[in-house]
Each structure stands twice: as structure tokens, then as C-alpha cells.
Amino acid sequence: MTPSEQSAPPADMTLQRSSRDADDLRSRLTDWLTGVLPAGAEPEVIVHDGIQTNGMSSETVLIGISTLVDGERVTREYVARVAPATADLPVFPEYRLTDQYDAMRLAGELAGVPVPPVGLNEPTGEVLGTPFFLMERLDGAVPPDVLPYPFGDNWLFDASPEQQALLQRSSVDVLARLHAIPDASSTFAFLDPAVTGHDGATPLARNLAKTRAWYQYALDAPEGSPRSPLIERGLVWLEANLPADEGEPVLVWGDARIGNMMYREFAPVAVLDWEMATLGPRELDLAWMVFAHQVFQEIATMLGLPGMPEFLAADDVVATYTEISGVEPGDLTWYLVHAAVNWGCVFLRTSARQVHFGEIEVPADPESVFHHRPLFERLLEQVGA
């Protein structure tokens, strides 16, 4: 019997992501492409069925686009990244799809990071009701979120220690390459939280202001959401202990976890999901990669599974990053607490979406939906918050 058969996942780990109708989507995309592609292309759109097992934010729609090329019909496969409709209770307060589009494009051009080639960008929202862009669909394997890869019975868990170490190193290498892009504060100025009205004396202070605003947004769900003492304790501690020296800002991927990368032979071939891209200290990405694994490991442990306790350990990640980049990161403690707060905001919003779609009842205890609750509590105890 596999680990996944021994222990079922928490019921609230899967959720509906969209109320869009596939036929309507196909019709709208076909009409739009007819207007933007060269005359005579005669586009036809196929919306593929499938279950998105990773990600809880932008809608990911797999499509085929068939066009006439020199009299022959050619079909190419794409992924449409679509900002969620307001009625579907988005995870984030805003989705700046063009910023994501530009961040991906520049990361590929300037750092050689493997990102899917981006195609057409529709920033107005007039076609589908919300903005979207197209990117080429690539083939590869993604460490699963559902069931989380530390549960077992998947390609990463079953890999050899050497293969797991290769994946870990190659994933950290992606961060080192992104952070090495020169003059990030100028090249990626459009990602500074100040652009969207978040005040602060430094990039990190502005990112913390953005986190505070995200928490407030999570409380403003239509059904209402009780306040989270854990998140509020975390925010107070973060404000009081803001690092004095955060270094020069770098391009921060934001959602820097292995579940947002596609791999072949245990090396990344696509770096995905750029909703959280920002300017700030490199430690934001490093802590997020470490903490994201800790969340899944925590769930596995609570279910009595061994998980992968030695994988993506903080000391190993920092040592590898230092070796590859030549830059020794600062202490990750502040950034791990910041990650815990952000994960709390994610869980508040995803649970609100589940209530909205009738998948769960309104929880009496808002923190009961925090899959990382014991981990969050231990972190706050460790820092004296």
C-alpha cells in the first residue's frame, strides 16, 4: 500500500479555481485571434480538458491553436495565463498580468533562466473579462502539490538521493541566476511595491506593507473572515525586527518553490507562476523555497508519513546558493516568518474561495485552514513573538 493510500489528504487541499465555461472561452479566443493574427490564418481553438494539480492563483488554461500556414493547417500548443474573475474570489488583490509577462521575458533574456516563450498579451480584459497572455506549452514533470510530493508515490519522492540532490541544486541555481541580473532596481522598477501604492523606506519595508495589505484583503472576503491572531503576531514581530541591512535589491521571483518549476532529468526546463515577482532582498526567495517544502513536510508528518525531512534543508540551500552565486545570504529567520505570514494569507483566501464554491462551510476557527499552523506557531515561539 502506498503512502497516498494509507492517508488521505486534508479535504480542503483541492479547490475549484474558475467558473468559466469552456465553450464560451473557445468562442471568445477564436474571435480575438481572428482579429489579431494575419488575414487568412483562420484560427481554430481547442480548449483541452484537464485538472490543474498545482497552483491556486491565476487560471491556467491549456489550449491548442490551429492556423493555416502556407495552405497547411498547423496546430501549436499554448498555455493561457488568465487573471481570475473578481467573482471567483482571487487569491491576490490584483493581477498585473503584463508585469508577469515582462518579468518572465526579461528573466529569460537576461539570466538565461528557462521560462516558456511568451506569445500574445491581452492586457485590457475586453476579450475574457480579465487580462491574459499566451505562452508556449512545454513538456516536463512538476513535483505535485496534490497529493504533496513528500507524501510519496510520485517521481520525485521515488528518485534516488543523487537525483533529489541534483534537483535541489539545479533549483537553487535558478535563484542565483535570477538574482545576478545587474541593475535590477532599474530593469525591474515596474515590480517595486511602491508602484502599487505600498509605502516604505526600503524595498523590504514596501514588501512588508504589501503583505499587510494582503492580509487586510483576506479579511474582506464576502462571507467575512475572522482575524488571525497568528498572522497579526507575525506582522507585529516583522515590523519590529525589520532587517537593518538588506543589500541591493534583486529580481525576486516571489513564489520560488519547486512546485512552480517543470523538470526534465531533474533539471528545470520551465520557471512558472510569476504573480509574486517583486524587487527586494535575495533572502525572500531562499526562505520561500525552504518554507514551501517545510509546509508540505509538516502536513506529511501530521499524517504520520516520513516525508522528505532532509530535502531542501535551510543550511544546505544557503550553502549551495553561496557556492553558486558567490554571495552569502543573511540570516533567514525574518524571511521565514514573513513566508509563514504570507502562507497564512494564501490559506485564508483559498478557504474563502472554497466557501464561495460550496466546497466547505465557513470555518469557526479561521486558522483551522492553515496547513502550516504548527510550523507557524513554532516559528513565532522561536523568535519570541
- What positions carry a catalytic annotation? 255
Measured in degrees and rounded to the nearest 5, phi and psi for residue 93 equal: -65, -30
Q: Can you read off the three cell numbers belonging to residue 96?
A: 498585473
Cα–Cα separations (whole angstroms), residue 245 to 252, 267, 343:
17, 33, 25
The span from the CA of 313 to the CA of 306, in Å, is 15
Closest C-alpha among 324, 382, 335, 176 to residue 241: 335
Burial of 331 (0-12, 13-18, 19+ CB in 10 A): exposed
131, 95 Cβ separation under 8 angstroms: yes
Max intra-chain CA distance, the chain: 70
